[in-house]
Amino acid sequence: MDKSNIIQRVKRIFIRQNVTEAAILITLLAAISRVIGFFREMMIAAFFGAKKFTDSFVVAQAIPGILAGLVAGALSSVFVPLYAEWREKKGKEEAERFASILVSDLFILLLGVTVFSYVISPLIIEILAPGFSGETRKLALDFTYIMLPGIIFWGTYGIITGLYNSHKSFVIPNLAGVLGSIVFILAIFFLHNTFGAYILPWGYLANVVIQYLLLLPALRRIGVKITWEINFRYEGLKKALVLITPIFLGQSIGLLNMAVDRIFGSFLPEGSISALNYASRVYQLPINLFVNALATAIYTDLAFQAQSENLDQFKLSLNKSLRAALFFLIPASFGLIFLAKPIVRLAFERGAFDALATKRTSESLIFYSLGLVFMSINMIITRGFFALHDTKTPVKNSIIALLFNIVLNTIFIKPLAHMGLALATSLASLISSVLLIRSLRSKISGVFSKDLLVNVFKFTLGGLFIGIVALLSFNFLYGHIFSHGQLGLAISLLVSVGIAVVIYLLLGLRWGIEESKRIFNIIKKNLELIVHLVK
């Protein structure tokens, strides 16, 4: 292969990918992003611990997160299938005009929302954290004021990334996320002494601005031109509003779930909200690594397949997505449950993050991990509903799950404190999964194959077995073979998890699981390539 062909191939990989390439590249970039994101959380934990500073930051993030997330989450969900429809029926030029109008109109609306948010922020803090008082409340309000401009950027971010995804260009948005996180980390490391805890909201804002500035100019590289055009009467906008309303409500419910946990958490001892937040960063790691990558890569295909009268290909894609996600997530859940404390110790216990913070965070992680599989199922099935232009069903199910979450929080907070809030979240996710599965079955006959259920049983059996193996291996290695320091902890964890992963893949190979076969084939091909290059 000559130099020009190599350059063209690299350009194609960065600008446009097929589903397989996309899933691999998104997973790799997500892995890098999560490692960097984890390093950021480790730095926050080391410099600020699990105290009032981090409690205030977690609550303050909720305000721009809720306001922007409502819009961005809903729009990004409807934009891909709508853009696909516009491009198929009206052509590329009109589809780009549709995107331009959406971005322009939304920018104006979010500017107004941001200004109004400065007025009502004290009230929102009072609602989100009624248990806060004194300096903690002041910090939360100050942090909020700094981060509010992020509403404009996060709010339109969903449309921009939707454009990349519609053109099967998944690398650039993920790369922008990585660079944004690096900026956040550098800000914390070099400026924490100058700004103190205030570097957290400033770093947050710098992160989103950097991502936005990287994404907009790069749109031209995928052949998309966005112009400034305000038109609140455009027919595409009207159709988007019709579809977005139930999704908007659904996103509101999801964010209300988060707000409910913050409200209950504000009445717990100082550091409890931070412990829940650190635990959520850990359990969301496998979701972000595998499920997000998979759902992002497959969503465009589902949207196009849903346009066909024959939904066989849609069913096949949905089943493959669920099977692939559960292949990773079921054993990951067992691993997080059995190894929660050493994982948290390795990730966070240093500097201001003490043994009490480790105890609270690891306890929260165990109960969050119980719902990890159900959260993943919900994400993929919800994408299926959105691809079918059914946005009402997920909303109805989300409302029921929210009500259960409130009731369960009320029941569990007194006897279990922070653990009760994590358990309530997991149980609410289970209820949501049951409702979504039942709804999709009634909508599409035979949507879930028997083969999927058989594989789930195998994943569960294998996951439980390797979880026990990982725990026994760790207990033997840590202290007996390796020292009790951080290095010994890291080696013990890596070796025990490595042993468990190898056993799981071998079990999958023996049981004829497709994902295990593919992984071994990839390993084999790469080894052959390395041998060939060495020779």
Question: Cα–Cα distances in Å, from 115 out to 57, 158, 209, 229?
Answer: 21, 21, 18, 22
pLDDT for the residue 249? 67
Q: Residue 2 pLDDT > 70, yes or no? A: no
Average pLDDT over residues 99-103: 85
Query: What integer is the mean pLDDT of 86-103?
Result: 83
CA distance linking residue 248 with residue 348, whole number of Å = 35
Measured distance CA(50)–CA(77) in Å, rounded: 34
The percentage of residues in the chain with a pLDDT greater than 90, rounded to a whole number, is 27
Question: Of the ranges 106-110, 155-159, 343-347, which is most confident?
Answer: 343-347
pLDDT band at 326 (very low <50, low <70, confident <90, very high): very high
pLDDT higher at 434 or 390: 434
Measured from the Cβ of residue 288, the count of other Cβ atoms closer than 10 Å reads 16
- At position 103, the amino acid (one-letter code) is V
Q: Which of 96-100, 191-195, 471-475 has the highest mean pLDDT?
A: 471-475
Q: What is the CA radius of gyration of the chain?
A: 23
Nearest partner of 317 among 508, 442, 169, 447, judged by Cα: 447
Q: How confident is the model at residue 407 (pLDDT cuts 50, 70, 90)?
A: very high
- Listing DSSP states for 68-79 in one string gives HHHHHHHHHHHH
* Residue 192, pLDDT score: 87
What is the model's pLDDT at position 203?
92
The CA angle 73-152-99, to the nearest 5 degrees, is 65
Mean pLDDT of 231-256: 73
Question: Domain limits of the chain?
Answer: 9-250
Q: pLDDT tens across 250-309, in order?
A: 666 766 777 788 788 888 888 888 889 889 889 888 887 778 777 777 777 787 777 776
Q: Assess whether pLDDT exceeds 90 at residue 144.
A: yes
Mean residue pLDDT across the chain: 83
24-28, 170-174, 298-302, 358-362: which range is least confident on average?
Answer: 24-28
- Choose the weakest-confidence range: 14-18, 60-64, 394-398: 14-18
pLDDT of residue 14: 47
DSSP 8-state code for residue 478: B
Start-to-end CA distance of the chain, whole Å, equals 17
Burial class (CB in 10 A: 0-12, 13-18, 19+), 147: buried
pLDDT digits (tens, 9 = 90+) for 102-132: 888 888 888 988 899 899 889 888 888 888 8
Q: Are 337 and 366 contacting, i.e. CB atoms less than 8 angstroms apart?
A: yes
Average pLDDT in the 415-431 region?
Answer: 93
Max intra-chain CA distance, the chain:
71
pTM recorded for the entire structure: 0.74
327 or 5: which leads in pLDDT = 327
Report which of residues 483 and 376 the model is more confident about: 376
* The predicted structure's pLDDT at residue 382: 87
Q: Which residues on neighbouring strands pair with residue 478, listed in sequence order?
A: 482
For residues 479 and 199, the model is more confident at 199
C-alpha distances in Å from residue 366, one per residue of 51, 289, 335, 496: 21, 19, 10, 18
Element of type H or E holding 99: helix 92-128
CB-CB contact of 398 with 432 (8 Å): yes
